[in-house]
Amino acid sequence: MFLENLAETFVELADTLVAGFDSVEFMHLLANRCVATLEVDAAGILLVDHHGELQVLGSSSDRARLLELFELQHRQGPCMECYLTSEPVTVASFTGSPQRWPEFSAVAKDAGFGALHAVPMRLREQTVGALNLFTVEEGALSEPTLRVAQAMADVATIGLLQAQIISHRELLAGQLQHALQSRVLIEQAKGVLAERLQIDMSTAFETLRRYARGHNRYLSRVAEDVIDGTIDMAALAAVTEGKSSTRDPRP
């Protein structure tokens, strides 16, 4: 049963290439899968945002979420230490002394937890957050369990970064497609102007450019209006002849 559950977990964590991928839902999936697979009592995930600040992105319980929020508010604790050092951090007991983070330990104890284990979410030199495992009982997790936890964190990190790369590529592809479509419109508009105003193609493009800049409009929008026949051709002719009051004075 354990191996079957583990296999299903890794399949779900690797499935980030689906349409409509939701990183927040993915983090909640990771937290819940940790509880089910690793037999810990709660799990939470801290991820760094584009400002370089850690945020709580997923948790299996409100107790874990509030504890991590407390840690972020005070800007110190085992989970933050794990992220900053990119190394696992274990607090095997919140009752023993001395405590490195006494305030955090007191709040964790009041929340009903006895121990915490944090593993970094990293890929090579890049660390994006920390996966935090809470247990009611005191004591460290076994080495095999911690290795599985780190493997889950690694797979989740790869999935997140892969989804980010795909999103970036889609954005670039969309921008490129828009640029290509705009170029087609401009070429068509140049042909229309060249025919109607009896000018060459270079002059037609310069006319479009000067009109767009003089009227503070996108060149592609002006091209659309030329193709649709909704633009004042007399104004464009005036630009061509250098008589328009809106002519761009810049060379």
| DSSP one-letter string for 201-249 | HHHHHHHHHHHHHHTT--HHHHHHHHHHT-S-HHHHHHHHHT--TT---
More confident residue, 251 or 79: 79
**For 189-240, what is each residue's pLDDT tens digit?**
999 988 888 998 888 888 888 888 888 888 888 999 999 888 888 888 888 7
List, as one string, the DSSP characters of 182-204: HHHHHHHHHHHHHHHHT--HHHH
**Type of residue numbered 142:** S
pTM for this predicted structure: 0.63
**For 17-26, what is each residue's pLDDT tens digit?**
454 556 667 7
Structure tokens at 108: 């964790």
Mean pLDDT, the chain, as a whole number? 82
Q: Taking 80 as the threshold, does the pLDDT of residue 13 lie above it?
A: no
Q: Taking 70 as the threshold, does the pLDDT of residue 249 lie above it?
A: no
Q: Taking 70 as the threshold, does the pLDDT of residue 2 lie above it?
A: no
Give the model's pLDDT for residue 150.
Answer: 92
Distances (CA, A) of 249 to 200, 203, 234, 243: 22, 16, 19, 12
Distances (CA, A) of 101 to 4, 21, 45, 83, 242: 38, 37, 19, 16, 75
Give the model's pLDDT for residue 28.
Answer: 79
Q: How confident is the model at residue 91 (pLDDT cuts 50, 70, 90)?
A: very high
* Residue 213 to residue 248: CA distance in whole angstroms: 7
Give the model's pLDDT for residue 247.
Answer: 39
Q: Taking 70 as the threshold, does the pLDDT of residue 3 lie above it?
A: no
- Of the candidates 86, 85, 84, 108, the one whose C-alpha atom is nearest the C-alpha of residue 96 is 108
Q: Kind and range of the H or E element at 112?
A: none
Q: Is 113 helix (H, G, I), strand (E, B) or coil?
A: coil
Percentage of the chain beyond pLDDT 90 is: 33
Give the model's pLDDT for residue 118.
Answer: 95
* Residue 49 to residue 248: CA distance in whole angstroms: 43
Give the model's pLDDT for residue 57.
Answer: 82
Most confident region among 11-20, 101-110, 165-174, 183-192 by mean pLDDT: 101-110
More confident residue, 75 or 165: 75
* Residue 33 to residue 11: CA distance in whole angstroms: 11
- Let me know: does 62 contact 95? Beta carbons within 8 Å: no
Q: Is 19 helix (H, G, I), strand (E, B) or coil?
A: coil
Rg (CA), the chain: 29
